Amino acid sequence: MKLLRKYTALGALSAIIFASSASAQVTAEEMEAAIAAATGDSAFVFNTFLFLSQGLIVMFMAAGFAMLEAGFVRTKNVSTILLKNISLFSIAGIMYYLVGYGIMYPGDFNGFVSWSGFLYQPDGGADLATGYSKMSDWFFQMVFVATAASVVSGTVAERIKLWHFLGFVVLLSAIIYPITGSWQWGGGWLAESNFYDFAGSTLVHSVGGWAALVGAIIIGPRLGKYTDGKVTPLPGSSMPLATLGTFILWFGWFGFNGGSQLALGSPGDANAIANIYANTFISAAAGCVAAMLVSQFMYGKVDLTLALNGVIGGLVSITAGPEYTNLLIPVLIGAIGGVLIPFSVRLLDTLKIDDVVGAIPAHLVCGIWGTLAVGIFYADFGIGTQLLGIISIGAFTVVATGIAWYVLNLFGGLRPSEEDEMAGLDKSELGIEAYPEFS
Amino acid sequence: MKLLRKYTALGALSAIIFASSASAQVTAEEMEAAIAAATGDSAFVFNTFLFLSQGLIVMFMAAGFAMLEAGFVRTKNVSTILLKNISLFSIAGIMYYLVGYGIMYPGDFNGFVSWSGFLYQPDGGADLATGYSKMSDWFFQMVFVATAASVVSGTVAERIKLWHFLGFVVLLSAIIYPITGSWQWGGGWLAESNFYDFAGSTLVHSVGGWAALVGAIIIGPRLGKYTDGKVTPLPGSSMPLATLGTFILWFGWFGFNGGSQLALGSPGDANAIANIYANTFISAAAGCVAAMLVSQFMYGKVDLTLALNGVIGGLVSITAGPEYTNLLIPVLIGAIGGVLIPFSVRLLDTLKIDDVVGAIPAHLVCGIWGTLAVGIFYADFGIGTQLLGIISIGAFTVVATGIAWYVLNLFGGLRPSEEDEMAGLDKSELGIEAYPEFS
Amino acid sequence: MKLLRKYTALGALSAIIFASSASAQVTAEEMEAAIAAATGDSAFVFNTFLFLSQGLIVMFMAAGFAMLEAGFVRTKNVSTILLKNISLFSIAGIMYYLVGYGIMYPGDFNGFVSWSGFLYQPDGGADLATGYSKMSDWFFQMVFVATAASVVSGTVAERIKLWHFLGFVVLLSAIIYPITGSWQWGGGWLAESNFYDFAGSTLVHSVGGWAALVGAIIIGPRLGKYTDGKVTPLPGSSMPLATLGTFILWFGWFGFNGGSQLALGSPGDANAIANIYANTFISAAAGCVAAMLVSQFMYGKVDLTLALNGVIGGLVSITAGPEYTNLLIPVLIGAIGGVLIPFSVRLLDTLKIDDVVGAIPAHLVCGIWGTLAVGIFYADFGIGTQLLGIISIGAFTVVATGIAWYVLNLFGGLRPSEEDEMAGLDKSELGIEAYPEFS
Amino acid sequence: MKLVRAIIKPFKLEDVRGALTDLGIAGMTVAEVKGYGRQKGQTEIYRGAEYAVAFVPKLQLDIVVGDDMVEKVVEAIVSNAATGKIGDGKVFVLDCHGATRIRTGEVGDAAL
Amino acid sequence: MKLVRAIIKPFKLEDVRGALTDLGIAGMTVAEVKGYGRQKGQTEIYRGAEYAVAFVPKLQLDIVVGDDMVEKVVEAIVSNAATGKIGDGKVFVLDCHGATRIRTGEVGDAAL
Amino acid sequence: MKLVRAIIKPFKLEDVRGALTDLGIAGMTVAEVKGYGRQKGQTEIYRGAEYAVAFVPKLQLDIVVGDDMVEKVVEAIVSNAATGKIGDGKVFVLDCHGATRIRTGEVGDAAL
Ligand SMILES: Nc1ncnc2c1ncn2[C@@H]1O[C@H](COP(=O)(O)OP(=O)(O)O)[C@@H](O)[C@H]1O
Ligand SMILES: Nc1ncnc2c1ncn2[C@@H]1O[C@H](COP(=O)(O)OP(=O)(O)O)[C@@H](O)[C@H]1O
Ligand SMILES: Nc1ncnc2c1ncn2[C@@H]1O[C@H](COP(=O)(O)OP(=O)(O)O)[C@@H](O)[C@H]1O
């Protein structure tokens, strides 16, 4: 920070255009060039600022995941899930810098895997030709990978060792997520096939969801969750934290979807982002209300936890294509997402797959639904291709994360001893309890 | 999100202006037109981004209300207030889309009620003539209505049935708030009268406050609050949550007031918003300190809950006109708002009106004060007209919400049974407690 | 807020340039002037918006400090620390307006103390020559002073009287912080010496840290913390709140560092901010991981509280110079910051200096480290000058705050009676407990 | 000397305490407990799974009194804690062989 | 009449309650307590300082039963709360001189 | 066998526990309770309304000991929990008819 900073306006660069005599008459061409330079500068700033401001909002989702999960796990595992959330975010970001980005954005390619090197480092200066600061783009991409990892942590909470989980985060953020990401956003084979996934219903949320599903199956349910063919609810520690987390995620999602427009530097882009914001809001709202109504009809009471999941479900559902100009469509898409939540929660319980926070219904099921919805509601995209994307990415992620979990399991086992699990991971893994005052 | 997005700069549109030969000389007129096109594009982006970024910040106030109210209700009603907050926001937004916006912005009119149709839907494209994306404006307006509804939920907490309360939210956001809103911001009769309410001290906060007051009177105080002519404090569940909520509201208020400038696309607008930010900050700070001092003098101790209310009081007080360039004025306005808080809290207790979170002092009393202050401190506006606005909107809202509460009461009563209230709404209405682990 | 606001584009001012006949031909000079006016307007808006949006994000750090500290103090002192946080922010802001800003930015000077008057008040209008709205700059500067004060409150928590602490805040924000601030950012003698501190590792964080250190020594440790040569841990009330606070601070730091670029109005500035964001993120991530690893090796378990401090340590470390284009450097700087945390926590315990939240390790130790790192990693700055800045500001702050604490102590003593401390300040100072329901 | 233990509905605390004060009882110790009995907790629902909460929040009052007071104390509790609905709670009486006031070392009835 | 007090590991509550219900025991009162005994709490760490937590969370069950049931109740608790590991807890038996049901005023065994 | 119950100020726990350990007492059970007595809670204030908090936080220690230890235990508690200020608490002694160690089934003094 400096005092009395020199006043450097936009268009400083445009000055160089007029090398010739200042008093000469200007032609239309010269003038267009001069204005284009100025507007190019301005667009560069807008686009860069979009990446940064929206990326920061997405980053804050990490706090949302932390609070949501802390609210949904039992008190004896709260400190552990907090630590997992703040460290997974740190680790995912570092790994994405070291390895992941190079895999996900390998430059021109249209195949399955490519690679542009370790330790992402763009030129230091402002590359005007790109239209945005490359580092701002990196920042925005980086915050996405942490989201995928956060999805996993909630599902497998309360019964996985800290360092094993973090090992999984390393593999997910360095390799697995970037590979499928490269297929579409990196310009790989899927992008060629006219698959569409605007901000990542499939590429981010379903990938996280599949990883979580495979993890939940391999690790198994928490002790006492399914006994004698009965589901025993293991209520979480704090509904205020879970609700706060949901609000923060909702907030962060505007960065997620809005920033995925990737440009703010023209009225068309700004207007598109406005539509995206409206879509994002109203789909979540519809998801919330729909989940509440289903809960009221199914149980005669409203289940707050399902309403919170309904918000997330509505958000994930619209993420694949939040660009409708008729808001009835996102209302419908979100509402269906909200309806899917209670039913898939029940289905998982029937299958004895223990998902502590409901991440699989919200991120995987609604991720699939949202991706399909693009095929239904947009004229330009077909259900077939959308299915192709869903299935190919799903298949790859299931196999890859299956291997990852398997390999990590070799190092002393993913799961703590029964006794440690019973005592809670805060005692056995961390040695610090969530509310440690009188203990 | 797409890879390698084409670089579309601002002013792409300006290119079409030069249909003629590129090497022709340009006239001053042509040049002015070309620059105007480019700056018009740029202003469009700025204005739209203002609506979106500030609207999002306002949206986050929903989390603030949720936390504040969760902290001020007793543990047995915390889950219910959380659910009310997240669902009221969802419902208010949807209703405003379906009905409310059409009433509030009916197009040219200067009367009492008009109507431009259901299901707001602007043209999909960027309408440059407007100067901002219409959908971004809708988004910004929408988040305001939720604020008014949030005010109500805090006051009537702990003793109203979930669905009845949500029914009230439907009526408030679809009809009642939009009607008074149209009088001023919709270009109705009040706007014609030179009434001034920059960001809604009266239109948003007092409307919510009146609705809350009428509700509190009709529903009556919580069991045990006023017994044998004595006030029995019913302390809330969590001061950390209440404080967090207050900080979030303070944060969100910058969106509220800053965004209400409605334009960022010129130095004048940007400078105005800077003044608004400084006013908004310092009025809240003064409200906080003033409430603390009054509390210290009245009770010999500082009441944290009054200090928190003081912040909100300072914010509501400055909302009607946060444009002063001399910061002593907002300091004064906020401080008076802060002083009003403890006294109006006491007045309500004397009248046996039970306001769980202090929304009536903060939003209604300070809303009135702030609206009057415009008449005192701005040369352009008179106290008479300000009073006219306060009274007409107050009278309409009291009558309309009175009818609304009355009608809803017909459906089995607004209030749960004594036993249900005693057990807490979390048990009787939701079946999920705030900290449900060992219960 | 007004309906149908007139469409005022950027460059409205540029129109006046063409006073002459509209159909005349334009010269290159005229054209450059016209474009410069338009881009100047645009830069003004960008720069102002940067101050406002980043300043607001910094403001939210107040909530982060409040939550972090509430989580780290014992339950019986939680309400008091909440009140301290919200009121210190209010008071610091008001004092900076009344007195501090005039000391910190006295206009042209290169000495030790100067002064441009009370009650900061810039011209009301938009001063285009400055390149940004002056009030937006004030807002941005103001939120910084509150940060320094927040650092102090955490260290001396649980054992200092409310009003005495607030008295210290008055002196710190009105006089002490502005004086050292003026040496560098105000254009004083240190700025002349080629000292570099981009966003305040020394000017903000170390100043707060020194003040905290002096306070902790003068006030002494909490009862029972160091007994019989043994350290007795006094665990805090809530890890979820502490974690939430850390996430909020991390979020806010992007405003802190990003906004300190002080300009967004050119591609170069936008690009610089992108680098700053990437640096800020990755240094914190490295600090977190490094603190975790050290904790794992030192104790065989990961200490969540140290991981949280590690994040802050990484952030403070990079604050003096977050402009690297090679991200390995901030990784290294942050990691060293993270490693410093556990060791300086231990050192303080050895010296029987009781720092409740770990503010001295994170803000002072890492602040020194970060300032030195500038001398190591940037070619333009030398370790000698960096040391000069560290030592001169440290010496002044130690002396000035020592006097401040001493004087305040004369008014009945800084410290509550043993009995009051034992009962908790929430009872003795406030009369409201953090969770007051059944008490 | 006897220890009278009352398990009551939480919201009845003030009434009971008032009645005991009227009898001249100057001290008691209260714990928050969970009661299991005829009164069943309401059915709760969590993530779509319903479950019966077996335990209901109660307050447990332990009051040590001289033998002569026992009957009056029990009576005062019964009449002030009753609502007539299931779950009103119980009063148990246990023998207490001695009491000491920590502050003064007084023993017996003087310690109460 | 006796008051049987059991201090058990928290996760054994359901098993014990089930066994008692099978014996026809209709009521009990449960408190969350901290136990100190042979079982030591794990070493915790807070801000780099390690400390042994002396206390371990336990549940304390107070069950008033008729004299004839005491033995069966103790037995049921012992067999259902045991894991064989240190810290399983204790069962104590105290005399209880009387019980009153607040709702009805019934006394003695009828009050249980 | 006796159950010694001590109600003490919370911050005295460590002192008392230390003294008991010195006597060879290996176990106890502690509950957080609210005490009502001569010591009044401070006046609190909430939303501008003042109210006297009737209850003060205390810790309740239940220690079952053999008859021979009772006196020493009571004495140790009294001397270690006293501050001389109102509210130091009480020690009560109740009869205990039996103890069983759940883990082993041992009964009587061997179970302690
Ligand atoms: N045998 C018992 N031993 C200890 N506590 C009991 C016993 N029976 C009941 N209680 C306590 O008394 C409370 C009320 O008993 P309950 O059977 O629900 O209703 P009621 O008091 O109307 O008979 C229970 O919640 C429990 O705390
Ligand atoms: N003398 C005692 N008086 C009261 N409670 C006791 C006593 N001894 C043990 N306890 C309780 O029993 C619990 C278990 O005792 P512990 O010695 O840890 O293991 P075990 O039951 O296997 O012998 C303790 O945590 C404590 O709550
Ligand atoms: N009759 C009683 N029965 C049960 N507990 C009591 C009784 N009298 C006092 N206590 C407990 O002892 C505590 C201290 O008593 P108090 O009268 O405040 O001071 P002191 O111990 O100095 O006489 C009370 O808070 C309460 O928990």
**What is the tens place of the pLDDT at every residue in B100-148?**
999 999 988 888 998 888 999 888 788 888 899 999 999 999 999 999 9
D101/F85 Cβ within 8 A: no
User: Does the Cβ of F90 fall within 6 Å of ligand 3?
Assistant: yes
The residues of E whose Cβ lies within 8 A of any Cβ of C are 44-51
Mean pLDDT (whole number) for A38-45: 93
- Band of pLDDT at residue C19, cut at 50, 70 and 90: very low
Among residues B153, B151, B148, the alpha carbon closest in space to that of B179 is found at B148
Q: How far apart are CA A153 and CA A91, in angstroms?
A: 13
To 10 degrees, the CA torsion angle through C316, C320, C322, C325?
-130
pLDDT at B18: 43
What spacing in Å lies between the alpha carbon of E101 and ligand 1's midpoint? 8
Q: How far apart are CA A171 and CA A168, in angstroms?
A: 5
R_g of chain A, CA atoms, integer Å: 23
Beta-carbon contacts of D89 under 8 Å, excluding residues fewer than 6 positions away, are D6, D7, D8, D9, D35, D58, D81, E102, E103
Specify whether the CB–CB gap between A101 and A122 falls below 8 A: no
Which of D11, D43, D57 comes nearest B431 by C-beta? D43
Closest ligand relative to D8 C-alpha: 1
R_g of chain E, CA atoms, integer Å: 17
Mean pLDDT (whole number) for A4-23: 44
Q: Inform me whether the pLDDT recorded for C9 exceeds 60.
A: no
Q: Inform me whether the pLDDT recorded for C236 exceeds 60.
A: yes
Query: In the structure encoding, which two tokens stand for residue C227, read together?
Result: 């007994």
CA separation, residue B409 to residues A81, B165, B427, D45 (Å): 44, 10, 22, 27
- CB contacts of C141 in chain B (<8 Å) are none
Q: Inform me whether the pLDDT recorded for A24 exceeds 90.
A: no
Q: How far apart are CA F25 and CA F73, in angstroms?
A: 9
- Band of pLDDT at residue C400, cut at 50, 70 and 90: very high
User: Does the Cβ of D62 fall within 6 Å of ligand 3?
Assistant: yes
Q: Inform me whether the pLDDT recorded for B184 exceeds 70.
A: yes
Question: How buried is A324 (Cβ within 10 angstroms: 0-12 exposed, 13-18 middle, 19+ buried)?
Answer: buried
What spacing in Å lies between the alpha carbon of E55 and ligand 1's midpoint? 29
Average pLDDT, chain B: 93
To 10 degrees, the CA torsion angle through B270, B273, B274, B277?
-160
F55/C427 Cβ within 8 A: no
pLDDT at A108: 84
Which of D30, D94, D100 comes nearest F91 by C-beta? D100
CA separation, residue B106 to residues B37, B113, B182, E55, E83 (Å): 29, 8, 8, 68, 73
Question: How buried is B395 (Cβ within 10 angstroms: 0-12 exposed, 13-18 middle, 19+ buried)?
Answer: exposed
What spacing in Å lies between the alpha carbon of E56 and ligand 2's midpoint? 10
Q: Inform me whether the pLDDT recorded for A16 exceeds 70.
A: no
Q: Inform me whether the pLDDT recorded for C314 exceeds 90.
A: yes
pLDDT at A438: 63
Q: How far apart are CA C77 and CA C89, in angstroms?
A: 19
CA separation, residue B345 to residues B318, B351, C260 (Å): 20, 10, 42
pLDDT at B23: 67
Residues with CB under 6 A from ligand 1: D 7, 35-39, 56, 58, 86-90; E 27-29, 62-64, 101-103, 112
Task: Spell C105-118 as b/e; 16+ CB within 10 A means b.
Answer: bbeebeeeebeeee
- CB contacts of E45 in chain A (<8 Å) are 430-432
Among residues B405, B403, B406, B400, the alpha carbon closest in space to that of B178 is found at B400
What subunits touch chain A, counting only 3 or more CB pairs under 8 A? B, C, D, E
pLDDT at C22: 60
Minimum CA–CA partner of A73 in chain B: B437
The residues of F whose Cβ lies within 8 A of any Cβ of B are 44-51
Mean pLDDT (whole number) for A19-31: 72
Handedness of CA A374, A375, A376, A377 (dihedral sign): positive
pLDDT at B279: 98
Query: In the structure encoding, which two tokens stand for residue D9, read together?
Result: 């509905």
A301/D48 Cβ within 8 A: no
Mean pLDDT (whole number) for C12-28: 56
User: Does the Cβ of F88 fall within 6 Å of ligand 3?
Assistant: yes
- Residue A396's Cα: distance from chain center in Å? 18
Query: In the structure encoding, which two tokens stand for residue C130, read together?
Result: 């400055």
Closest ligand relative to F64 C-alpha: 2
Q: Inform me whether the pLDDT recorded for A41 exceeds 50.
A: yes
- Band of pLDDT at residue C21, cut at 50, 70 and 90: low
Question: How buried is C376 (Cβ within 10 angstroms: 0-12 exposed, 13-18 middle, 19+ buried)?
Answer: middle
Specify whether the CB–CB gap between C173 and C207 falls below 8 A: no
Q: How far apart are CA A319 and CA A325, in angstroms?
A: 15
The label of the residue with tokens 């196999």 reads A399
Q: Which residue, among E12, E42, E88, would best test binding to A if mutated, counting the most A CBs under 10 Å from its CB?
A: E42
Pocket test for ligand 3, best of D4, D5, D29 (most atoms within 8 A of CB): D29
pLDDT at A4: 38
Q: How far apart are CA A428 and CA E43, in angstroms?
A: 9
Give the count of Cβ contacts less than 8 A between chain E and F: 79
Q: Are strands F56-65 and E56-65 parallel, antiparallel or unpaired?
A: unpaired
Report pTM.
0.95
pLDDT at D54: 82
Specify whether the CB–CB gap between B240 and C432 falls below 8 A: no
Mean pLDDT (whole number) for C70-92: 98
Specify whether the CB–CB gap between C239 and A435 falls below 8 A: yes
Closest ligand relative to F83 C-alpha: 3
- CB contacts of E8 in chain F (<8 Å) are 102
Beta-strand runs (E) in C210-250? 226-227, 230-231
Q: Inform me whether the pLDDT recorded for C338 exceeds 90.
A: yes
Q: How far apart are CA F49 and CA A201, in angstroms?
A: 52
Q: How far apart are CA D69 and CA F94, in angstroms?
A: 18
Q: Inform me whether the pLDDT recorded for B331 exceeds 60.
A: yes
What spacing in Å lies between the alpha carbon of F64 and ligand 2's midpoint? 9
Determine how many CB atoms are found less than 10 A away from the CB of residue B77: 29
Mean pLDDT (whole number) for F95-102: 94
Residue range B35-83, pLDDT digits in tens:
888 899 999 999 999 999 999 999 999 999 999 999 999 999 999 999 9
Give SS3 for A54.
Answer: helix
Tell me the backbone φ, ψ of residue A389, rounded to 5 degrees: -65, -45
pLDDT at B10: 42
The alpha helices in F24-112, defined as continuous H runs, are 70-81
pLDDT at E73: 97
pLDDT at B22: 60
What spacing in Å lies between the alpha carbon of F27 and ligand 2's midpoint? 5
Query: In the structure encoding, which two tokens stand for residue A185, read together?
Result: 């956003």
Q: How far apart are CA B234 and CA B358, in angstroms?
A: 13
| B330 HSE (CA, 13 A, CB side) | 30
Determine how many CB atoms are found less than 10 A away from the CB of residue C409: 14
Mean pLDDT (whole number) for C348-369: 98
Q: How far apart are CA D64 and CA D81, in angstroms?
A: 18
Q: Which atom of ligand 1 is nearest to the CA of D34?
A: 27
Specify whether the CB–CB gap between A257 and A201 falls below 8 A: no
pLDDT at B117: 86
Helices (H) and strands (E) in chain F, counts: 2, 7
Minimum CA–CA partner of B426 in chain D: D44
Among residues A107, F74, B178, B281, the alpha carbon closest in space to that of C56 is found at B281
Which of C12, C24, C135 comes nearest B27 by C-beta? C24
CA separation, residue A281 to residues A315, C141, E30 (Å): 8, 34, 46
- Band of pLDDT at residue B13, cut at 50, 70 and 90: very low
Among residues C325, C315, C310, the alpha carbon closest in space to that of C274 is found at C325
Q: How far apart are CA B252 and CA B258, in angstroms?
A: 10
What subunits touch chain E, counting only 3 or more CB pairs under 8 A? A, C, D, F
Name the amino acid, one letter, at C114. Answer: S
Q: Inform me whether the pLDDT recorded for A1 exceeds 60.
A: no
Average pLDDT, chain F: 93
Average pLDDT, chain C: 93
Quote the DSSP letter at residue B351: T
Give the count of Cβ contacts less than 8 A between chain B and D: 26
Beta-carbon contacts of C331 under 8 Å, excluding residues fewer than 6 positions away, are A94, A97, C282, C283, C286
Nearest residue (CA) to ligand 3, atom 6: D28
Whether chain D has a CB inside 8 Å of the CB on B428: the answer is yes
Q: How far is D42 from chain B (nearest CA, A)?
A: 7
pLDDT at B322: 97
User: Does the Cβ of D76 fall within 6 Å of ligand 3?
Assistant: no
Whether chain D has a CB inside 8 Å of the CB on B435: the answer is no
Stated as kind and residue range, the H or E segment containing A249 is helix A239-259
Residue range B192-251, pLDDT digits in tens:
999 999 999 999 999 999 999 999 999 999 999 998 889 999 999 999 999 999 999 999
B232/F47 Cβ within 8 A: no
Q: How far apart are CA B423 and CA B415, in angstroms?
A: 13
Give the count of Cβ contacts less than 8 A between chain B and F: 33
- Percent of chain A residues past pLDDT 70, beyond the cut: 94
Specify whether the CB–CB gap between C264 and A9 falls below 8 A: no
- CB contacts of B82 in chain A (<8 Å) are 239-240, 243, 304
- Band of pLDDT at residue C23, cut at 50, 70 and 90: low
Whether chain F has a CB inside 8 Å of the CB on B370: the answer is no
The label of the residue with tokens 């700069």 reads B9
Could you read off the pLDDT tens digit of each residue along chain E, which spans 112 residues? 999 999 999 889 989 999 999 999 989 999 999 999 988 777 888 988 888 888 888 999 999 999 999 999 999 999 999 999 999 999 999 999 899 999 999 999 999 8
Q: How far apart are CA D51 and CA A303, in angstroms?
A: 13
User: Does the Cβ of F112 fall within 6 Å of ligand 2?
Assistant: yes
Q: Are strands E56-65 and E28-36 parallel, antiparallel or unpaired?
A: antiparallel
Specify whether the CB–CB gap between A279 and A261 falls below 8 A: no
Among residues F6, D81, C165, A327, the alpha carbon closest in space to that of B135 is found at A327
What spacing in Å lies between the alpha carbon of F34 and ligand 3's midpoint? 10
Quote the DSSP letter at residue E60: E
Q: How far apart are CA A53 and CA A269, in angstroms?
A: 15
Give SS3 for B179.
Answer: helix
Pocket test for ligand 2, best of F28, F93, F101 (most atoms within 8 A of CB): F28
Nearest residue (CA) to ligand 1, atom 9: E27
Pocket test for ligand 1, best of D7, D53, D58, D62 (most atoms within 8 A of CB): D7
- Percent of chain B residues past pLDDT 70, beyond the cut: 94
- CB contacts of A439 in chain C (<8 Å) are 235
Q: How far apart are CA C199 and CA C208, in angstroms?
A: 14
C55/B270 Cβ within 8 A: no
